[in-house]
Amino acid sequence: MSRRRLPSLNALAAFEAAARLGRMTLAAEELSVTHGAVSKQVRNLEEILGVRLFEGPKNSLRVTDAGRTLLSHLTVGLDHIEAGVRAVADEENGVLDVSCTGTFSMRWLIPRLHRFQDKYPGVEVRLSASYAPVDFARERYEIAVRLADSPLPPEVPLTTLFPEYVGPVLSPVLAKRLHLKEPQDLESAPILHTVTRRSAWHDWFDRAGWLRSSNLAGTDYEHFYYMLEAATAGLGVCIAPWQLVIDDIRAQRLLAPFGFIPSGMNYIAVQRPRRNRKAQAFCSWLAEEASRTPMPSSM
């Protein structure tokens, strides 16, 4: 088997950072080295390759065609190297990638995240939004928070946070105008839907054991968060999970005239199936924070 003929990894990393960021000073800051060190590594790399990677005056360098070709390969390659290192590293500090639905992040997780940061200041939680099924083979996140309504990868560490409760919510101003006394009064109310959970109203009527309203037509919103904002603004009534509106209920920005009932699903945190102290600490904190979140009956 022939040996790989590669220049110094430090030289490749120095060029990649300088070309990607557009300035050697920025590359030096990212790599925690001096400007001179980056410049020297780039010159050495040019000598080894026998091509110019930058051109123009020192204060306005431009990447050459050869440099752009090399950059396109290096960035992908270094990303793969970083992913491989992180896949086996078990560090207490550093970046922790967490995937959640966008509304869960904004309405429940982010308002409480400062308590995790206070407890673990060396961990940087990097959130990404996704509604897709958990797929550790294709995604880079260490933890995924989801509703347990889809198949999960086998043999993955799983932390159950809390059961989901749902119910109609609306603004106090709209509530005064509608005078809702029983679910059938919703026929005269402006109804809000989200395309990500189109059957929410039908499911709520069925689970509550009430006669389903015949008039469930209304306004559709592409994202759950938009629908909740519309309800808060008094544009209509929507079905919302208790855990995502608890702060709004407490602050009386939203009212729940008929309370909340179990949806039959649970919020869970799924962890990549390997030892990772940061991920384990975060899942433990999530479970602790979830236990502090009261259920509707206790409010």
Question: Which structure tokens are listed for 256?
Answer: 């729940």
CATH code of 284's domain: 3.40.190.10
Residues 153 and 281 grouped into a single domain = yes
Q: Give residue-wise pLDDT tens across range 22-35.
A: 888 888 888 888 98
Going by the DSSP 8-state scheme, the letter that residue 209 receives in this structure is: T
Work out the percent of the chain whose per-residue pLDDT is above 90. 45
Residue 15, in any domain of the structure: yes
Nearest to 218 by CA among 168, 147, 149, 264: 168
Residues 142 and 24 grouped into a single domain = no
Nearest to 140 by CA among 78, 82, 184: 82
Question: Which structure tokens are listed for 118?
Answer: 């206070």
Residues 169 and 250 grouped into a single domain = yes
The whole-number pLDDT of residue 175 equals 93
Whether 148 contacts 229, CB under 8 Å: no
Residues 168 and 257 grouped into a single domain = yes
User: Residue 228 belongs to what domain range?
Assistant: 164-263
Residue 130, in any domain of the structure: yes
Q: Give residue-wise pLDDT tens across range 62-116.
A: 889 988 998 888 888 887 777 666 666 556 678 899 999 889 999 999 999 999 9
The whole-number pLDDT of residue 238 equals 96
Q: Give residue-wise pLDDT tens across range 133-146.
A: 888 878 888 999 99
Helix, strand, or coil here: 104?
helix
What's the average model confidence in pLDDT over 228-239?
A: 96
Residue 2, in any domain of the structure: no
Please check the confidence at residue 2 and state whether its pLDDT lies above 70: no
Please check the confidence at residue 150 and state whether its pLDDT lies above 60: no
Residues 168 and 259 grouped into a single domain = yes
Whether 103 contacts 243, CB under 8 Å: no
Burial class (CB in 10 A: 0-12, 13-18, 19+), 31: middle
How many separate domains does the chain show?
3
Threshold 0.85, pTM exceeds:
no
Residues 115 and 27 grouped into a single domain = no
The whole-number pLDDT of residue 299 equals 43
Q: Give residue-wise pLDDT tens across range 250-278.
A: 999 999 999 999 998 999 999 988 778 89
How far is residue 28's CA from residue 14's CA, in Å, rounded to a whole number?
A: 8
CATH code of 29's domain: 1.10.10.10
How far is residue 268's CA from residue 174's CA, in Å, rounded to a whole number?
A: 34
End-to-end CA distance of the chain: 69
- Pairing mode of beta strands 191-194, 218-221: parallel
Whole-Å CA distances, 5 to 49, 102, 168, 276: 11, 45, 65, 34
Write down the residue that tokens 């123009």 correspond to. Answer: 56
Whole-Å CA distances, 194 to 188, 198, 240: 19, 6, 10
Query: Which residues does 25 contact at the CB level (< 8 Å), separation at least 6?
Result: 35
The whole-number pLDDT of residue 212 equals 65
Helix, strand, or coil here: 160?
strand
Whether 257 contacts 233, CB under 8 Å: no
- 298 band by pLDDT with thresholds 50, 70 and 90: very low
Residue 4, in any domain of the structure: no
Residue 239, in any domain of the structure: yes
What's the average model confidence in pLDDT over 276-284?
A: 92
Please check the confidence at residue 1 and state whether its pLDDT lies above 80: no
Query: Which residues does 273 contact at the CB level (< 8 Å), separation at least 6?
Result: 136, 153, 155, 156, 157
The whole-number pLDDT of residue 153 equals 61
The region of weakest confidence among 125-134, 221-230, 276-285 is 125-134
- Phi/psi at 157 (nearest 5 deg)? -65, 130
Q: Give residue-wise pLDDT tens across range 173-221.
A: 999 999 888 888 888 899 999 988 888 998 998 888 776 666 677 899 9
